[in-house]
Amino acid sequence: MPVTKDSPVSRTPFPEIDITVPHSARVWNYWLGGKDNYAVDRAAGDQYRELFPQIVDTARAARYFLARAVRFLVGEAGVRQFLDIGTGLPTVDNTHEIAQRVAPDSRIVYVDNDPLVLAHARALLTSTPEGTTDYIDADLRDPATILSSATRTLDFSQPIGLFLIGVFGHVPDDDEARSIMRRLLDALPSGSYLALADSINVGDAHREAARRYNEGGPVAYRLRSLEQIAGFFDGLDLVEPGLVAVSRWRPELSPFDGPHVETTLGGVGRKP
């Protein structure tokens, strides 16, 4: 049967937002003090925090790392294009806001595969008139789609800042993770940067909290070792101070400074 404009089968279905299992973007939103989360996310976030109370500081520290890394790239390194994979729900300082505060003409592509995140990003993460923001509905495991869609907005002959903040644990297979990273980095021109933060499998309480969280039914998150995360920077020149606890990466004096969190590492590497 041909699908015509008026046929019932052509009706766009409502996207499902599953609020019966925790969702990582919403749990992070809860830890960061946001309100775009549901009871199931708050329960999962509370359970995690009971076992590993530093998770709230960790979540904040990872956001501040993102902010400092963006400021470093747009300020010292002169980068004007950003590819932010695993956008998450909008929070106080989002990638394009930080970049466009310094350089209003910055172009930012946000990538996520969650309809809720995408709807919030499209509605709330809007650009300055001088710059551009775009939104790609794609999975991290599909770099081909990410890269081809990003060409709508980004000039791949000029340096690009690639951001992967707390997302690579969603690709548990090491070979696949390395392959995705290689394909993404291969597409970037010389002078581009990778900014990556991820949690490592240290600390009994931390590991136990992560294990219990994964049992709760969300898309699982795998904690890697320091060496495995360092491996993601293969072929890049790490800028000072290297791969360190996110809170120790180029710290700035800030009234929001929390304690150092050693369970989440961050680094920025330059493609030679």
Partner 1 sequence: MAIAADGEGVMGAIQAGGGQRDAAAFDYRRAGPTVSRMVVGAHLRRLREVAQVTREQAAEAIRSSDSKISRLELGRTGFKPRDVTDLLALYGVSDEDECATLLAMARQANTQGWWHAYSDVIPGWLEAYLGLEAAASLIRSYEAHFVPGLLQTRDYAHALIRAGLDDLSEAQVDRRVDLRMRRQQILHQPAPPRLWAVIDEAALRRPIGGAAAMRAQLRRLIETAELPNVTIQVLPFSVGGTPVGMPITVLRFPEGELPDVVYAEQLAGALYLDKPADTDLYEHVMNRLGTAAAPQKATAAILSRILEET
The smaller minimum CB distance to partner 1, of residues 10 and 225, is found at: 10
The smaller minimum CB distance to partner 1, of residues 1 and 157, is found at: 1
The smaller minimum CB distance to partner 1, of residues 2 and 13, is found at: 13
Half-sphere CA count of 110, side-chain side, radius 13 A: 27
DSSP structural state of residue 126 = P
Please, what is the minimum distance in Å from the beta carbon of residue 118 to partner 1? 7
Please, what is the minimum distance in Å from the beta carbon of residue 198 to partner 1? 27
Please, what is the minimum distance in Å from the beta carbon of residue 191 to partner 1? 31
**Is the Cα dihedral 31, 35, 38, 43 positive or negative?**
positive
Q: Residues 6 or more apart from 245 whose CB is under 8 A from it?
A: 61, 260, 261, 262, 263, 264, 265, 266
| Sequential DSSP letters for 46-66 | HHHHHH-TTHHHHHHHHHHHH
The smaller minimum CB distance to partner 1, of residues 36 and 84, is found at: 36
Cα–Cα distance for residue pair 201/120, rounded to 1 Å: 31
Looking only at Cα atoms, what is the longest distance across the chain?
65
Interface ranges with partner 1 (CB under 8 A): 8, 10-15, 17, 19, 33, 35-36, 38-39, 42, 115-116, 118-120, 122-124, 126, 128-129, 255
Please, what is the minimum distance in Å from the beta carbon of residue 33 to partner 1? 5
The smaller minimum CB distance to partner 1, of residues 47 and 228, is found at: 47
| Nearest one of 81, 84, 137, 74 to 110, comparing CA atoms | 84
Please, what is the minimum distance in Å from the beta carbon of residue 1 to partner 1? 17
